[in-house]
Amino acid sequence: MIEDKSTEQRIIEAAKQVFIEKGYDGARMQEIADLAGINKAMLHYYFRSKDKLFFTIFDDIFSRFMPAVQKGFTSNMSVEEKIKFFINSYITLLQSNPYIPLFILHELSRNPEELKTHIHDKVTSNFKIFQEQMQLEINQGLIKPIDFRQIVTNIIALCVFPFVARPLLQEVFSSDNESFDKFIEARKTIVPDLILNWIKM
């Protein structure tokens, strides 16, 4: 049972635990109710359907990414500074919440159309600001004329992959948890250097 908190908060924490562990298809409302220490009728009083509860959890998890994105992309920083800020913030977040990438990737593969629509408005405006700034710096000859989509995709992939593939990478590199954590920390410097060396004139 989730420790003593408000009923709604206990439900959210229980649901998050179950959805992350089992995904949408494997999650059962009765299991969530049991973990929250309530009956199923009370669960349905707060969240009338599994879908509504799931999207509450998905929004909560996805929103953990957004403050850093919003702060970085809407600031007055240069493209170089924004890339460094975003990568540092992104990796720091994943260090604290390593389950997030697999959860989001799994649910996107399960129900891509609905989740793409759900996410679209949360990220599009931020990326548009960054894209326009990049184009301005391209026009000024400060960075190479590289497709914006390639840059963003490479940044996200370089940040996320070590967390998704951690068990495999630890086995391949014979790394214990402490050395792998140091490896991840070093990427806060390595990944920006890779991206900036690629795009800068």
The pLDDT confidence band at residue 14, using thresholds 50, 70 and 90, is very high
- Please tell me whether residues 80 and 129 are part of one structural domain: yes
Let me know if 86 is exposed, middle or buried by CB neighbors in 10 A (0-12, 13-18, 19+): buried
Indicate if 162 and 75 belong to the same structural domain: yes
Whether residue 18 lies inside any domain: the answer is yes
Lowest pLDDT segment from 9-13, 21-25, 148-152: 21-25
Among 167, 186, 188, smallest CA distance to 176 is for 167
Per-residue confidence at 122, pLDDT binned at 50, 70, 90? low
pLDDT single digits (tens) 178-189: 999 999 999 999
Does residue 59 belong to any structural domain of this protein? no
pLDDT at 95: 92
Q: Structurally, how many domains does the chain consist of?
A: 2
Q: Is residue 1 part of a domain?
A: no
**Within a domain: 94:** yes
Domain with 153, as residue range(s), is 64-199
Per-residue confidence (pLDDT) for residue 3, from 0 to 100: 47
Instruction: Judge if 92 and 47 occupy the same domain.
Output: no
Q: Tell whether the model's pLDDT for residue 86 goes beyond 50.
A: yes
Residues 184 and 106 in one domain: yes
* Model pLDDT for residues 92-109, shown as the tens digit of each residue: 989 988 888 888 788 788
Mean pLDDT of 147-163: 93
SS (H, E, C) the chain: CCCCCCHHHHHHHHHHHHHHHHHHHHCCHHHHHHHHCCCHHHHHHHCCCHHHHHHHHHHHHHHCCHHHHHHHHCCCCCHHHHHHHHHHHHHHHHHHCCCHHHHHHHHHHHCHHHHHHHHHHHHHHHHHHHHHHHHHHHHCCCECCCCHHHHHHHHHHHHHHHHHCHHHHHHHHCCCHHHHHHHHHHHHHHHHHHHHHHHEC
Judged against a pLDDT cut of 80, whether residue 197 lies above it is answered with: yes
Average pLDDT over residues 130-145: 93
Q: 141: which 2 tokens? A: 């000859």
Question: Which pLDDT does position 80 carry in this prediction?
Answer: 93
Q: Read off the pLDDT of each residue in 191-198 and give the average, rounded to a whole number.
A: 97
Residue 78 belongs to domain with CATH number? 1.10.357.10
Domain harbouring 17, CATH code: 1.10.10.60
pLDDT tens string 51-73: 899 888 888 877 776 776 777 77
Average pLDDT, stretch 68-94? 86
Same domain, 46 and 85: no
On whether both 94 and 45 belong to a single domain, the answer is no
Largest CA distance in the chain: 63
Distance between first and last Cα of the chain: 56
Residue 100 in domain: yes
pLDDT at 5: 67
Looking at the structure, do residues 108 and 43 belong to the same domain, yes or no? no
